[in-house]
Amino acid sequence: MCGATGEVRLDGRVPDVAAVSAMAEVMAPRGPDSAGVWSQGRVALGHRRLKIIDLTEHGAQPMVDSDLGLAIVWNGCIYNYKELARDLTGHGYRFFSHSDTEVLLKAYHHWGDDFVSHLMGMFAFAIVERDSGRVLLGRDRLGIKPLYLHCLLAAAWTPGSTTKLCTTT
């Protein structure tokens, strides 16, 4: 199953890492095998993991690829991840895990926002670009893996100061 959560600050403040950790902890039954929290700048990501594909800690989330400058949390299954990994290897990418999570990171780096058109599966994700601070949220076309957003509006600042995310199911 797994579960992902996070907070994106739009007001220049740092996210509440303890709150993100608490949100992830609530999802412990969904991901009893491991938990992780990552934070940089205005973004914090949390994850609960049920080990299915890559049973090692190399598949742990949040997953950070320092070489590519990307971080991700997600929930789902990419059915064609092995084929995508072979294709990406042919384009010079090297993999440190056997997880579909890492395939998502490399695919995003290679194809940009259009990477989702290469995915066959069900998914909801949050990808963070280290250098630009850009956060990309997405889900599968049918919404099999939903992506919930909660925006807290600041009285003196619009459109909002905080966006919290969660994916379950």
Report residue 95 as tokens. 């993999």
In this structure, are residues 76 and 89 in contact, taking their beta carbons and an 8 Å threshold? no
Q: What is the pLDDT of residue 117?
A: 97
To the query of whether residue 2 is one of the catalytic residues in this protein, the response is yes
Q: What is the pLDDT of residue 132?
A: 95
> What's the pTM value of the predicted model, to 2 decimals?
0.88
For the segment 152-163, the average pLDDT, to the nearest whole number, is: 52
Q: 2, 77, 151, 166: which one is catalytic?
A: 2
Q: Per residue in 103-148, pLDDT tens?
A: 999 999 999 999 999 999 999 999 999 999 999 999 999 988 888 8
Query: Could you tell me the domains of the chain?
Result: 3-30+47-167 (3.60.20.10)
39 or 162: which carries more pLDDT confidence?
Answer: 39
Q: Per residue in 24-82, pLDDT tens?
A: 888 887 776 778 899 999 999 999 876 777 667 787 789 999 999 999 999 999 999 99
Q: What are phi and psi of 143, to 5 degrees?
A: 75, 25
Report residue 31 as tokens. 């991901």
